[in-house]
Structure 1
Amino acid sequence: MLTHALVGDEGRTIELGWADGRRTRFHAIWLRDNALDDKTRSAGNGQRLVTILDIPAGTRIGAASIKAGALEISFEPEGKTVSFPAQWLRANA
């Protein structure tokens, strides 16, 4: 279970805290590149619908919150909000 989300490095990274005391860190561009939304990945087969070149080089985390066991992130400058399940984040940390 996620306990906290702390945006750092001017939005370039996020540190997550877990109930077992573990801490993990993710980079904004990596999270955006691996977003699970239907504009980034096909819902049917998980195939990528964008490439890293489609993502703005200055991508950063504008806001982050924990909602219903998931991490919700708003990416800037796109203004795109994506939800990442806690289990997925833990498995990919």
Structure 2
Amino acid sequence: MSAPLSICWFRQDLRLADNPALVAAAAHGRILPVFILDDDSAGADRMGAASRWWLHHSLVDLNAALGGKLHVARGDARDILPALA
């Protein structure tokens, strides 16, 4: 029997070190790290070029640190998260 899968949803806190959500997810077994870009969320329409650049490079770095296991999606988290579970 395989260990249970915990979804670790990265939102604004993209750090691995001292990340309480990641620590809690890891305590339960396998982890599915997820980042969702929700264009309809508050503030998404105000993201300028510099913010988009920073986010892109931060996600590339996070994915590398996670061994290429970061699942990146675009859309409504209320639809995406249940589909991953």
**TM superposition score normalised by structure 2:** 0.25
**TM superposition score normalised by structure 1:** 0.24
Structure with a larger share of its residues in helix: 2
Structure with a larger share of its residues in strand: 1
Q: Which structure is higher in RCO with an 8 Å CA cutoff and minimum separation 6? A: 2
